Amino acid sequence: MQNNNLSKTTSLITTALLTVFLSSPFGYAQQDSKNKLPEIGAAGSSVLSIDKERQIGDAMMRHLRASQPIIHDPILTEYINDLGNRMVRHAQDVNYNFEFFLINNKEINAFAFFGGHIGVHSGLITTATTESELASVLAHEISHVTQRHLARKMEASSRNQPLTMAGMISGVLLALVNPTVGMAALSTTMAASQQAGINYTRGNEKEADRVGIQLLANSGFNPMGAPNFFAKLSEKYRYTSKPPAMLLTHPMPESRIAEARVRAQNFGAPQIAPSLSFELAKTRIQARYQSTPKDNIRLYLAKLDKQQYSYQAVAQYGLAIAYFENKQYSQAQEILEQLRTQERNNLFYIDVLTDTYIQLEQFDAALAMLAEVEKLMPKNQVVALNYANALLSAKKYQQAEQVLQDFLLIDKNNYLANDLLTQVYQAQKNMAMMHATKAEVLALLGAYPRAIDELQTGYNFANEKGNEKPLIKKRIKARIIQLQEQEEKLKRLN
């Protein structure tokens, strides 16, 4: 499914977040008072509960959706969550679900914050050579979360002057996403020594290395991916004035890289075949989100001509996306249909082929393909969202509505699903539900006042004379109360 240019709002919940953070030490969710970490202790858990971390993490995630170029791409979202959760399953003391997401940014960076949210810049994926290298970064961030490093650091900072914490707030999230800009924002309100409060200590980094490398090995990846990737970054940017974002927040002195290499070698270096999913995800980012379609066509034609690929299918896939982005839909269709003869249920191929069929108005072909796959993978987000999009394009609105409503029962906060459902209701001229569903999109961006306004508008449509819909009115009134309570809950955190 193509990443739509979805509308965004600048009406955020910054004030509510500020209220929360001025009264709360920062923390990484994962472990409660039962957790035993002899080197550091259980600081952080006594003043920042798991429930409070969830609430703060949820609020920050809504802020990021509204302010950062998050990649709302179902196949890439599914890939990065599958990869991350393969390691979360082997982690200790996991108290809630992790959420991994991608930001369209060529910077090499990854970051974690409250509630198990882990963001990965697209540049990190395209820089990694192997899936084990990418997995090593996720394992490292997971380990910062499970060890509650930032919670402990911020608890110590909270014992300082209140104004220090107040000055820190506005730049913390920005510093996570963009360390260069974020650090500059923080430095206007804090002394250099105080500014360092958001960074991890050397002990934190070593512990995250130790736990992360073990997690990497236990999850079936090559533990050498960790020292190899960080050594590559350190060497590449050794003499540059602008190191990547990751090296600003995760400094890599030679001694630390050497220690990580020794630790990884203790687990051995298993021979792992190149991951097709990793290569396809990397190629999808390059072909869809980087460079121009014409340049990418030349790039992948050259790769195929010179046989410069780990899998031929990966280069063909990149070429098909480049053709699609260049509106050469017939050429894209030919390649993708050929790829499906090799691996019929590969969702990377099915996703782009669906978009291609839609552009060529071959709706029957798209729907037949997706109906077949849906039987094998019911409620899979890639299948459900593509199926709904194809049904919407084919003007089969009731079926599209049903597919999306069923999917939202298991993933109510899916941004694309709510946006698609808004379009379905608009096409049906069901204005009450269109405004109600648009409110859900706005709520996911943290724009609660605007979401409540949309709900009130939807209520008015449902209340029109001769068109009264009592059940919808009750649902909308209940949802208004829920959103008001969510907004109040943020304020009550202080």
Q: Which residues are catalytic?
A: 141, 209
140 is in an annotated binding site: yes
321 to 163, 278, 351: CA distances (angstroms): 51, 16, 11
With 0-12 / 13-18 / 19 or more C-beta atoms within 10 angstroms meaning exposed / middle / buried, residue 163 is exposed
DSSP states of 50-116: HHHHHHHHHHHHHHHHHHS-B---HHHHHHHHHHHHHHHTTSSS--S--EEEEE---S--EEEEGGG
Is residue 281 within 8 Å of 131, Cβ to Cβ? no
**Nearest alpha carbon to residue 443 among 434, 453, 433:** 453
If you compute the radius of gyration of the chain from its CA atoms, what whole number of angstroms results?
Answer: 24
183's CB contacts (< 8 A; 6+ apart) are: 171, 175, 195, 248
**Nearest alpha carbon to residue 35 among 189, 145, 139:** 145
Measured CA to CA, the distance from residue 263 to residue 209 in angstroms comes to 9
**Nearest alpha carbon to residue 127 among 251, 313, 253, 282:** 282
**Which strand (E) or helix (H) includes residue 120?**
strand 117-121
Measured CA to CA, the distance from residue 464 to residue 371 in angstroms comes to 38
HSE (side-chain half, CA atoms, 13 Å) at 449: 8
HSE (side-chain half, CA atoms, 13 Å) at 151: 32
279 is in an annotated binding site: no
At 353, list the tokens: 């082929």
**Nearest alpha carbon to residue 316 among 292, 339, 293:** 339
205 is in an annotated binding site: yes
Give 101's strand partners.
119
**Nearest alpha carbon to residue 104 among 286, 371, 275, 235:** 286
Distance of CA 111 to the CA centre of its chain: 11
HSE (side-chain half, CA atoms, 13 Å) at 122: 22
Q: What would you measure as the largest C-alpha separation in the chain, in angstroms?
A: 76
Please provide the size of the chain in residues. Answer: 494
Q: Which residues are annotated as a binding site for Zn(2+)?
A: 140, 144, 205
